Amino acid sequence: MSAHLSYGRVNLNILREAARKDLREFLDKCAGSKAIVWDEYLTGPFGLIAQYSLLKEHEVEKMFTLKGGRLPPADVKNIIFFVRPRLELMDIIAENVISEDKMHSPRDFHILFVPRRSMLCEQRLKEQGVLGSFINIDEYILDLIPYDGDLLSMESEGAFRECYLENDQTSLYHTAKGLMTLQALYGTIPQIFGKGECARHVANMMLRMKREFAGSQTQILPVFDSLLLLDRNIDLLTPLATQLTYEGLIDEVYGITNGYVKLPPEKFAAQKKQGEASKDLPTEPKKMQLNSAEELYAEIRDKNFNGVGSALSKKAKIISAAFEERHNAKTVGEIKQFVSQLPHMQAARSSLANHTSIAELIKDITTSEAFFDNLTVEQEFMTGVDTDKVNTYIEDCIAQKDPLIKVLRLACMQSVCNNGLKQKVFDYYKREILQTYGYEHMLTLNNLEKTGLLKPQTSTRNNYPTIRKTLKLWMEDANEQNPNDISYVYSGYAPLSVRLAQVLARPGWRSIEEVLKMLPGPHFEERQQLPAGLHKKRQQGENRTTLVFFLGGVTYAEIAALRFLSQMEDGGTEYIIATTKLINGTSWIKSLMDRPEAQTL
Amino acid sequence: MAFITANWNPLGEAFYRKIDLYDMGWSLRDGFKDCMVAAAPYGGPIALLRQPQRPSPSARPQLEIYTSSGANMASFPWKSGPVQQLGWTVCDDLLVIQEDGTVLIYDLFGAFKRHFSMGNEVVQNQVMEAKVFHSPYGTGIAIVTGASRFTLATNIDDLKLRRLPEVPGLQGAPTCWAVLTQDRQTKVLLANGADLYILDNTSCTPVTPPGLSPQACSIVNIAVSFSYKYLALFTDSGHVWMGSSNLKDKLSEVETKVRSTPKQMVWCRRPRSQQPSVVIMWDRLFLVAGECQEIIQYTLDEECVCVAELDGVRIIGGSRHELLQEVPSACEDIFKIASMAPGALLLEAHKEYEKSSQKADEYLREIKEQSVLGEAVKQCVEAAGYEHEPETQKTLLRAASFGKCFLSNFPPEPFVSMCRDLRVLNAIRDYGVGIPLTHPQYKQMTMQVLIDRLVYRKLYPLAIEICRYLKTPEYQGVSRVLKHWACCKVQQKEEPDESIARAVSVKLGEAAGISYSEIAARAYECGRTELAIKLLEFEPRSGEQVPLLLKMKRSQLALSKAIESGDTDLVYTVVTYLKNEMNRGDFFMTLRNQPVALSLYRQFCKHQEQETLKDLFNQDDDHHELGNYYVKASYKESKLEARLSLLQSAVDEYNKAKNEFAAKATEDEMKLLRFQRRVDEEKGEALLGLSLHDTLHSLLSANYHKQAEQLYRDFRVPDKRYWWLKLTALSEKEDWEELEKFAKSKKSPIGYLPFVEVCVKRHNKYEAKKYVSKVTPEQKVKAHLAIGDLDGAAEAAIERRSEGEISTVLARCSPSTDRALLERLNRARSTAAKK
């Protein structure tokens, strides 16, 4: 279930195991049969830590979703609420508890706060008069959740919005705490680099926390050589662009949540049971888990989509060749060996069938004219073509009332590539959007302006072209099949965030001081003292390990780019990626939207 | 080495010895005459309450506290009420029990800590006798009142008074009594003449000790052992009865031939005792009565007090302090005259070795032949622990070390740890420190507690030295001591805040895991708020600083510390606190200076208190946000008028914020709403709430072209979008006639390709074809392809000599396509490519 977490450079399964241990300990604190009442938002992330089987082993018999009113009946001794520390959830819990008291069978109540308990929430429970009803009030420190062998996410949906729009740094505090947990398990990270206000804040908190825990240091040889903290707002452009890697496109088109994707079932109907005619088409979407545990997926996920087809057909040949082997198997030994490989081969074959279907689904979209037009405009913006004028494509999209998020993504992109739009253009877009999609979107536009995504030009100087040239953000003729540069993930555009990581590794940020000054927030370097005797002696040719933390979200394409750097022959650095949330342009813009629920007039 | 056994006295099979601990440092003119004395076990402090020399109404008794070596720690006149009993708690606090039942607690240095009462009943009836006792639950007090009623408190730190049942026939105080702890219950054992009773929570049970000699008319003294397991009774016939404290077994009965009531009687045992005994003391006489019925007799030349210990009895007199104990078996084996025990031989061997005599070898051989060298070493190490004289300890340890050389795999730990323990013990037994702990007591007490005691005596340097020497982890050792030191330092009233703060930071600077907030809390308790704040500055954990700062009403500082910690929950906590503490104006002002707190509070209000949010924006004159606030609020209204009025407020705010765009947009919104209502009323449509775009679409679909035109003009909808709208609406209705009219109305701002496309979309190629000719040359190919006219597309592409377009056409060709056309296209492409 979790083996793929331990294959990477850093064994992230240690983190998962630590999290599982804490969970088991808490469950055992509540002796007897239990029912868990879930804050719905938590079920996804928890699924990555523990399956139902673990809960069952610890006498969890029922699971409910947290909602108002009376709790469903369950013949259990304990009711445990697994919740985020949010006031509105406290009110629901209080309602549950109060209505419970009227029934006769007494059940014990417990609360597990994820990821941290909060005085504010306990105060609210007290005000509601139910605080005393809880036997255990505990916290389950789940900050960084291992997603894959080289990927950690906090799955904190609103992190970007909170940090950059609402000035609420709660998620940064959790980030710092999470990094402390990580350091407790994997040793102190000797070097911290960062760029951006939030990065600075997190680094400060980490250094402070380290002082606070002075004396209780763990004697662990550091696994990470350095940590790179990056604010999302130093690179607003990348998430806006359409990702062109396989995994990125799956996310763009269908959306990946907590490692799962839901796909339209039609394509998968036939192969359900081979040979049998499927009687009726399944109507439930097909749910698939996507991670490196699946060999084929690990191979193709980070490829540019244009390279996926050939990879799949190559794989198909290998698999059918492997099945052909059976004709060559003559002796009993050979047959036995063939049979023993059969399950693996069958798994590979069904995996191939699945991904062929997915690739077909996606191909239908990428070959459409709309997709092509959209991409053309994106690339024009990224290369700086006519970013200071009203763009006809955007205009047409609005006129035809294309999805608002698509329009916003493009407009934001133009704004970012032009370092803000000319006031006239800016007002024009806004007016068009308000007239077409409704005046209520003024609040959303306001948010986008505040976060710097869609804003009027304040200085006459547009420094994006300088940044683009210095950091080589645009590479003509990017090789999509056999890439030699990270720009392949966007078929030409090299994500700025990853470029920064790349330059940091070699030749260092000193070479790009000018550009760094153009990006918002400070850049810095901190060193953390290691206890004597824990200094790592690097073997000749041994790679450095860098943890790159994206504050405010990261896209699959950026992850692919970092993985590409890890795999480069002479790269010298391997990357582990951590983030507050895995995002794409759509989910990102969505998180910034304000939609007042309008009463019908 | 014969002198070692000089003070040994045989008792049955065993020996008893008296060790000199100290010549007392105090100068008591009359010894313990007219003194009330209390000495704490484990070598604890001694308290004396001396009655004034010449009784007069103004004279006060003097309360004095000394170390076990007689060094004065405190001395002050007793100004409170008449005292019935003194005692010590397990943590070295002095308990003074007054006749009125008030119990006062003082620390080692005579500083008053607190007081409590043993109940209202006592105030009337007075305390007749009181006893302080120790149990696993802490320190307890038992009293008997003038009304012959017992009251118990098992733990003075968690005071629960228990009044015990009445004892039948008891008048005044019982003859003697003692407190027992059995089966996790505290009971009183009392004698009233010859009758013995056990008094527990609910009942009073008469009991008879098995085999108590019948001559006795009265039990005059009771002694319970240190472990509460054994009991001794002294009768007026001069007999000592010894047995188990549950009164089930009798151990022995000894006749002392002394019939007068003893002053004190205590058990003298040690763990794995061979010959337990009871020590009985009269004014001049001192008897050790063994289980074997033998007796050792000492004469006393001064008045003394006995203190029962885990492994013996300490005898404190006006000039001397001694320890009486059964000689431990290891010492007995080694030092007994003519002993052939392995340890004795090893000691001898080593002695010869030191003299460079070959006899050393002989002795060693003898031990090795019996293969008891390991045991010999063990014995020497163990015996060293029991010896009080450093010289004797050294001799034994050297012998052990010598013996160890001839052993290959003897574990080193016992030897090493004994050396360490002894070094610590010798240091604290020092006259200046005055804690005469024995090795077993030290082990029982644990190092942690010892450090606590040293800290309590303010012997900080010694405590730190010991921690360092024993390599205690900093957290539990040095840092803890330093913290206590600092807590004590902050109470020095005469020193200015500045210098104390500096001294503390200099000393504590490098120690790990110091909680400055605890030290600061102490300073605050002493009323030194300024100092507390200075000290808090050193606390690395901002989170820890907050609660104390709030307590000290330094809420502003608490807020900035909470912010510094990054813990938003903590910030919320302080903000909530401030909100309740301050008036609204001050509260808002405070927030205004702390942007982080302000934005968190805004978040809170957004979800919880919308109204407050408005006030906040008002306070900041943030008209833009106020505008947004009204816009948001307007959507919650289901009545049009209410919504419009809120929107008008928004417009006003936006205007104040000089945000023309937002003001205009909101005005437009209002205008649209009004328009929609009018049309809805007039035409029975349902437009209200739709966007402008959708309104237009609906109007066009419903053939209200006039109204649509009006909106188009009023809202200055760009031509392009209006054309798109109309085009879509007409094509959706398949109103081809109207569409054609529209196309001809004037030159299309969006070109004519969209016309072709919408027709194709509606599967009307016939209509589509009408517009193909109007399409600009750049889009011609696309238009032809859209209607499936390959020839036309080819024609257009070739005409434009565009390689890309030709390729597009080629891509659409199928095997059934006309050969000639294909060739033409291919030829044209290669020509185009050449250019």
Residues from chain B that touch A597, judged by Cβ atoms under 8 A, are 635-636
Over 90: is that where the pLDDT of A107 sits? no
B227 within some domain: yes
pLDDT of residue A218: 62
Give the tokens for residue A465. 């072209």
Is the pLDDT score of B538 beyond 90? Answer: no
| Closest by Cβ to A435, choosing from B479, B631, B691 | B691
**Mean pLDDT, chain A, as a whole number?**
89
A215 — pLDDT class (breaks 50, 70, 90)? low
Q: Is the pTM here over 0.90, yes or no? A: no
- Domain extent for B708: 621-717
Of B812, B811, B813, B779, give the one whose Cα is nearest residue B796: B779
| Predicted local distance difference test score (pLDDT) of residue B151 | 92
Specify the pLDDT at position B799. 83
Measured distance CA(B719)–CA(B95) in Å, rounded: 97
For residue A281, the model assigns a pLDDT of 57
How far is A319 from A322, CA to CA, in rounded Å?
5
pLDDT of B21 > 70? The answer is yes
CATH of the domain at B694: 1.10.150.780
In a domain, B404, yes or no: no
Of B717, B739, B755, which residue constitutes the final position of a domain?
Answer: B717
Question: Is the CB of residue B433 less than 8 Å from the CB of residue B425?
Answer: no
Least confident of A110-114, A374-378, B70-74, B682-686: B682-686
A599 touches chain B (CB under 8 A): yes
| B197-234 per-position pLDDT tens digit | 999 888 899 998 888 888 878 999 999 998 899 999 99
Give B639→chain A minimum CA distance, Å. 6
The more confidently predicted of residues B512 and B643 is: B643
pLDDT of the residue at B1: 44
**pLDDT tens per residue across span B660-702:** 999 999 999 999 999 999 999 998 888 888 999 999 999 999 9
Model confidence at A445: pLDDT above 50 = yes
Residue B643 lies in a domain: yes
Listed by number, the residues of chain A in 132-171 with a beta carbon closer than 8 Å to a beta carbon of chain B are 166-170
Residues of A in contact with B572 (CB under 8 A): 118-120
Whether residues A120 and B724 touch (CB distance < 8 A) is answered with: no
Cα→Cα distances B488→B42, B456, B480, B500, B650, Å? 24, 10, 12, 11, 62
- Is A439 in Cβ contact with B691 (below 8 Å)? yes
* pLDDT at A505 (0 to 100): 92
Look at residue A578 in the predicted model and tell me its pLDDT.
Answer: 96
Would strands B112-117 and B102-106 be described as parallel, antiparallel, or unpaired? antiparallel
Q: Which of A173, A215, A443 sits opposite B513 (nearest CB)?
A: A215
pLDDT, residue B746, reads: 86
With beta carbons under 8 A apart, name residues in chain B contacting A120: 569, 572-573, 576
pLDDT digits (tens, 9 = 90+) for B547-591: 888 888 888 888 888 888 888 888 988 998 888 888 888 888 888
Helix (H) or strand (E) holding A378, with range, is helix A369-383
pLDDT at B30: 81
Interface test with A, best of B474, B475, B508, B572 (most A CBs within 10 A): B572
Q: Please name the member of A167, A214, A435 whose beta carbon is closest to the beta carbon of B717.
A: A435
pLDDT at B510: 67
Chain A residues lying within 8 Å of B604, measured CB to CB: 87
DSSP character string of B504-543: HHHHHTT-TT--HHHHHHHHHHTT-HHHHHHHHTT-S-HH
Query: A434 vs B512: CB contact, 8 Å cut-off?
Result: no
Domain end point (choices B717, B749, B773): B717
A403 to chain B, any CB pair closer than 8 A? The answer is no
Mean pLDDT of A69-84: 88
Quick check: is B79 in a domain?
A: yes
Helix (H) or strand (E) holding B312: strand B312-317
Q: What is the pLDDT of residue B650?
A: 95
Q: Is the pLDDT of residue A460 over 80?
A: no
Neighbouring residues of A119: CB distance < 8 A, sequence distance ≥ 6: B569, B570, B572, B573
Q: What part of A 83-102 touches B (C-beta under 8 Å)?
A: 85, 87-88
CB–CB contact A208 B542 (8 Å): yes
Per cent of chain B over pLDDT 70 is: 99
pLDDT in tens, B395-423: 999 999 999 999 888 898 999 999 999 99
What residues 208-237 of chain A have any CB closer than 8 A to a CB of chain B?
208, 211-212, 214-216
Which of chain B's residues have a Cβ under 8 Å away from the Cβ of A119? 569-570, 572-573
Residue-level pLDDT at B409: 83
| Residue A86 distance to chain B (closest CA, Å) | 10
Record: contact B566-A176, CB cut-off 8 A: yes
Interface test with chain B among A210, A395, A435, by most B beta carbons within 10 Å:
A435
Q: What is the pLDDT of residue B393?
A: 94
Residue A217 has pLDDT above 80, yes or no: no
Using CA coordinates, name the residue in chain A closest to B512: A215
Percent of the residues in chain B that have a pLDDT greater than 90, as a whole number: 47
Given a cut of 80, whether residue A329 has pLDDT beyond it is: no
* Nearest-CB residue to A214 (from B513, B640, B692): B513
pLDDT of residue A275: 45
| Partner residue opposite A212 with nearest CB, options B541, B572, B603 | B541
- Chain B residues near residue A123 by CB distance under 8 angstroms: 573, 576
Contact B666 A439 (CB under 8 A): yes
Q: How far are the Cα atoms of A269, A270, A280, A357, B354 from residue A277, in angstroms, in the given order?
A: 10, 8, 9, 18, 102
- Digit-coded pLDDT (tens) for B49-100: 988 877 777 788 999 999 999 999 999 999 988 999 999 998 899 999 999 9
- Write the residue in A205, A430, A432 that is nearest to B661 by C-beta: A430
Let me know if residue B764 belongs to a domain. Answer: no
The partner residue sitting opposite B566, judged by closest CB among A169, A596, A600, is: A169
Q: Establish if B336 belongs to a structural domain.
A: no
Phi-psi domain of A573 (left: phi exceeds 0; alpha: psi -120 through 50; beta: other):
beta
Chain B residue closest in CA terms to A445: B662
pLDDT band of A562, cuts 50, 70, 90: very high
Q: Find tokens 């959507």 and name the residue.
A: B635
CB contact under 8 A, B631 and A442: yes
Which residues in chain A have their CB less than 8 angstroms from residue B643's CB? 601
Find the length of chain B.
835
- Tell me the average pLDDT across B617-645: 91
Q: What is the CATH number of the domain that holds B231?
A: 2.130.10.10
Averaged pLDDT for residues A545-554: 96
Q: Which residues of A touch B688 (CB under 8 A)?
A: 601
Lowest mean pLDDT among A271-280, B454-463, B560-569, B743-752: A271-280
Chain B residues touching A169 at Cβ < 8 A: 566, 568, 596
* A536 band by pLDDT with thresholds 50, 70 and 90: low
B542 has pLDDT over 90: no
According to the model, what pLDDT value does residue B136 have? 83
Contacts of B669 in chain A (CB under 8 A): 434, 439
Total structural domains within chain B: 2
Mean pLDDT along residues B13-27: 91
Residue B347 belongs to some domain of the structure? no
Q: Do A168 and B599 touch (CB under 8 A)?
A: yes
Confirm if A228 and A194 have CB atoms less than 8 A apart: yes
Pick from A167, A432, A440: CB nearest B596: A167
Average pLDDT, chain B: 89
Instruction: Locate the chain A residue with the closest alpha carbon to B692.
Output: A435
Residue A598, pLDDT above cutoff 80: no
Residue of A nearest to B563 (CA): A169
pLDDT of residue B2: 47
Q: Does A430 touch chain B (CB under 8 A)?
A: yes
Which of B653, B684, B717 is the endpoint of a domain?
A: B717
* Local confidence band at A192 (pLDDT 50, 70, 90 cut-offs): very high
Flag whether B690 is in a domain.
yes
| Closest chain A residue by Cα to residue B677 | A601
The Cα angle at residue A209 between residues A205 and A213, in degrees rounded to 5: 175
Q: Tell me which chain A residue has its CA closest to the CA of residue B728.
A: A400
Mean pLDDT comparison of A427-431, B338-342, B498-502, highest-scoring range: A427-431
Stretch A98-102: mean pLDDT: 74
What per-residue confidence (pLDDT) applies to B334? 92
- Confidence class for position A274, pLDDT limits 50, 70, 90: very low
The Cα-based distances of A187 to A18, A217, A224, B443, B640 in angstroms read: 15, 9, 8, 37, 62
Q: Which residue has the higher pLDDT, B557 or B267?
A: B267
Q: Comparing C-alpha atoms, which of B646, B647, B598, B642 is closest to residue B622?
A: B598
